[in-house]
Amino acid sequence: MWVLLILLVIILIIAFNTIKIVKQSEVYIIERLGKFHKVADAGLTIIIPFIDHVRSVVSLKQQTMDIPPQGVITQDNVTITIDTVVFYKITDPARAVYEIQNLKKGIEYLAITTIRDIVGKMDLDDTFSSRDAINDRLRVILDEATDQWGCKVDRVEIKDITPPADIRDAMEKQMNAERNKRALILQAEGERQSAITLAEGKKEAAILEAEADKESKIRRATGEAEAIKKVAEAKAQEIHMVYDAMMKSKPDEKLVQLKSLEALKEVANGNANKVFIPFEATNTLSSLGAISEIVKDKKKE
């Protein structure tokens, strides 16, 4: 009975050491008598007990590694702290196991030295404005360096860049000053635009007012000219009617002279300081002057 139990235990131990089940996205590095034998892919794998053994289990998934925050001195002698994360994947499990003692430590140290080299050649302002460029350069350098370790670096991201407290205070003050400057510029621009708009409105109003005044004067002058024209036409028509009536009545010379005197009286009653006497009326006036002299002489006698 005891012998059967011992045999069963031995069989189970041998089976456990012989049959290996490899999970998906993993591989086993199998050594035979201390030497690399094969890479066991996902599925069932049979090995020889006490001769073969599993050296390492390697994951083929994309992995992430946080690089501890590092103090880096920039070109303008400012010490900043950079926090970085690296995304990598193992492409050759055997080389990842046998070409380097500790793959993660190797990637970490390589990333730290590369960051210090890249940022040390940049100013503080460039480190904040060139994160994408730093990430790309880090990825290229790490990918080339880790290729011999059977590893591919897919992505490198800088999570945070922390400057010293005094630099942060200065940057905040500069940022506030810049914001205030932009606000003042926008306010001045708004006031300028408002003044321009107001001036243009006043200009348009003055132009419209001048045009309206001009149009009013033109219409007034046109109306006065039309009125004068109508009055002149009426006077001309009146004169024409009078002339026709006089022509129909066949006036003699004495009647014409008498009408001339009446017209002269009307002219003399006006405001003009010069009076033009018709030639026909001068004879009549001379006759009247002679008659008045005779009358005066008779009165004296």
Highest mean pLDDT among 13-17, 67-71, 125-129, 270-274: 67-71
Q: Give the 3-state secondary structure of residue 276.
A: coil
Instruction: Write down the pLDDT at residue 86.
Output: 93
Pairwise CA distance, residues 4 & 10, whole Å? 10
Q: Are strands 26-32 and 43-46 parallel, antiparallel or unpaired?
A: unpaired
Pairwise CA distance, residues 281 & 283, whole Å? 6
Pairwise CA distance, residues 27 & 93, whole Å? 8
**Half-sphere exposure at residue 102, Cβ-oriented, CA atoms within 13 angstroms:** 6
Instruction: Write down the pLDDT at residue 269.
Output: 57
What pLDDT, in 10s, does the model give residues 87-99?
999 999 999 999 8
Query: Looking at the whole model, is its pTM more than 0.85?
Result: no
Which of 155, 26, 18 lies closest to 96, judged by CA?
26
Q: Give the 3-state secondary structure of residue 30.
A: strand
Pairwise CA distance, residues 124 & 136, whole Å? 18
Residues in the chain: 301
Question: What percent of the chain has pLDDT above 70?
Answer: 77
Residue 273 has pLDDT above 50, yes or no: no
What average pLDDT does range 139-144 have in this prediction? 91
What pLDDT, in 10s, does the model give residues 274-286?
444 554 445 554 5
| Average pLDDT for the chain | 79
What average pLDDT does range 230-243 have in this prediction? 72
In the numeric block, which tokens belong to residue 20?
A: 């290996």
Residue 150 has pLDDT above 50, yes or no: yes
